[in-house]
C-alpha cells in the first residue's frame, strides 16, 4: 500500500495566525486539490493528521471542525481525489497530549488504522512539529514552503533527511512518475 500523510493547515488549505474557525474560512491552497486527486488516481491512500488546538481554546467547536472537514472531503472529491482518513488532536499546545504533534500519537494511530509500518512513508507538513512527528516514527519528512513552510526552513533545525518542496503539487509530481 502506498500511504501519504498530510498536515492540513498550510499544506492542503491556507493557514491563519487567527486559526481557521469555520468552513467559510477553509480555502484550499492552489494546486493542493489537484495534487491529492493525482495521488489518489495513482493509487496513493491519503491520511490527514492535524493539530486543532482551536477546540481547546474555545475558538470553534466539533460541529465547526466537522463542517470544515466535510468541505475538504467534498472539494477533494470534486477534484477527483479522496482523503481516506482524518486524524485530529483537539488539545492545546501547553497540554501533555500524546496526540499533539510533535508527539507521534496521531501518526501511530494512522499506522494502526492502515495496518502499515510508517518507516519511509512520506509525511508532508509546513511546520517543524509536523516534521518532528514524522521523524519520530521513521516516516520521511517532507517540508512544503506553503503555510508556515518558509519560516520553518529559515529557522532551521529540520530533521535529517527532510525533503523540501515548493508545495503539495510538487510533492505529487515527485511521487507520481
Catalytic residue, from 9, 91, 130, 167: name it. 9
Among this protein's residues, is 9 annotated catalytic?
yes
Dihedral pair phi/psi, residue 18, rounded to 5°: -100, 10
Q: Kindly write down the DSSP assignment for every residue of 77-138, as one continuous string.
A: HHTT----EEEEE---TTS--SSSTTSSHHHHHHHHHHT---TT-EEEESSHHHHHHHHHTT
Catalytic residue, from 7, 91, 130, 167: name it. 7
Q: CB–CB of 30/168 below 8 Å?
A: no
CA distance 7 to 60: 19
Among this protein's residues, is 94 annotated catalytic?
no
Dihedral pair phi/psi, residue 110, rounded to 5°: -65, -45
Which residues are annotated as catalytic? 7, 9
Amino acid at each position: 500500500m502506498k500511504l501519504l500523510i498530510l498536515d492540513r493547515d498550510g499544506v492542503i488549505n491556507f493557514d491563519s495566525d487567527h486559526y481557521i474557525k469555520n468552513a467559510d474560512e477553509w480555502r484550499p491552497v492552489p494546486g493542493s486539490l489537484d495534487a491529492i486527486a493525482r495521488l489518489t488516481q495513482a493509487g496513493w491512500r491519503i491520511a490527514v493528521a492535524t493539530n486543532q488546538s482551536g477546540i481547546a481554546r474555545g475558538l470553534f467547536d466539533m460541529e465547526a471542525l466537522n463542517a470544515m472537514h466535510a468541505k475538504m472531503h467534498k472539494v477533494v472529491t470534486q477534484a477527483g481525489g479522496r482523503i481516506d482518513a482524518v486524524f485530529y488532536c483537539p488539545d492545546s499546545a501547553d497540554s501533555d497530549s500524546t496526540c499533539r504533534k510533535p508527539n507521534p500519537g496521531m501518526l501511530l494511530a494512522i499506522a494502526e488504522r492502515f495496518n502499515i509500518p510508517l518507516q519511509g512513508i512520506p509525511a508532508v507538513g509546513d511546520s517543524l512539529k509536523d516534521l518532528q512527528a514524522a521523524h519520530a516514527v521513521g516516516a520521511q519528512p517532507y517540508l512544503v514552503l506553503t503555510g508556515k513552510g518558509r519560516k520553518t526552513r529559515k529557522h532551521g533545525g529540520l530533521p535529517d533527511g527532510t525533503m523540501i518542496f515548493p508545495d503539495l503539487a510538487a510533492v505529487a509530481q515527485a511521487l507520481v512518475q
